[in-house]
Amino acid sequence: MGGRGKMSGAVTIGSGTGTEAFLAPGVNGAAGLTTQSTLTFNADGTYSCEVDTGRAKADKITAKGVTINSGAVFSFIALDSQTLAQGTVFTVINNRSLNPIAGTFSNLPDGSTFTVGSNTFQANYEGGNGNDLTLTVVP
């Protein structure tokens, strides 16, 4: 599933045992995707997140409750090759529920860092208002 816009129902990415399924809010450009209900990533689900380093914008999913089941994967794609300012924060999952995000992506533990091009990002599942997934540019 890819694109921009709003959905009214619950969204589930992957069946848990099938072929890999992707959620890509922006295709060749950072964008936002909103569901007015819950979002679940199953074991065969992937969040394909783009960041446009030239514009300092990233994909963002907004949902009212987020569950990330064991085996779900986070895929990060950098568009452009600019170095971002240290401390820049991207909210890549905006969880509008009062409950924290349940689970983590298998390849993106809480507090972990990864480098793409000249930028290093740190993941925080308690970012934003305390229950969002944020990526912060760190040294």
Say what the pLDDT of residue 20 is: 85
Say what the pLDDT of residue 30 is: 77
Say what the pLDDT of residue 18 is: 76
Asked if residue 128 belongs to a domain, the reply is: no
Asked if residue 36 belongs to a domain, the reply is: yes
Total structural domains in the chain? 1
The strand pair at 57-58 and 60-63 is best described as unpaired
Asked if residue 40 belongs to a domain, the reply is: yes
Asked if residue 117 belongs to a domain, the reply is: no
Query: Tens digit of pLDDT for each residue in 23-32?
Result: 988 776 778 8
Say what the pLDDT of residue 5 is: 65
Asked if residue 88 belongs to a domain, the reply is: no
The backbone torsions φ and ψ at residue 73, rounded to the nearest 5 degrees and listed phi first, read -125, 145
More confident residue, 100 or 1: 100
Is residue 4 very low, low, confident or very high in pLDDT (cuts 50, 70, 90)?
low
Asked if residue 127 belongs to a domain, the reply is: no
- DSSP string covering 15-63: -SSSS-EEEBS-SSS--EEEESS-EEE-TTEEEEEEEETTTTEE-EEEE
Asked if residue 115 belongs to a domain, the reply is: no
Share of the chain above pLDDT 90, in %: 78
The letter for the amino acid at 47 is Y
pTM tops 0.85, yes or no: yes
Radius of gyration of the chain (CA): 14
Query: Tens digit of pLDDT for each residue in 50-101?
Result: 999 999 999 999 999 999 999 999 999 999 899 999 999 999 999 999 999 9
Domain that residue 22 falls in: 5-83+93-109
When the pLDDT of each residue in the chain is averaged and rounded to a whole number, the result is 92
Say what the pLDDT of residue 1 is: 46
Tell the burial category of 68 from Cβ atoms under 10 Å away from its Cβ (0-12, 13-18, 19+).
buried
More confident residue, 20 or 40: 40
Asked if residue 55 belongs to a domain, the reply is: yes
Say what the pLDDT of residue 53 is: 94
Distances (CA, A) of 25 to 2, 61, 72, 98: 5, 7, 16, 23
Residue with tokens 């995707």: 33
Tokens of 15: 């069946």
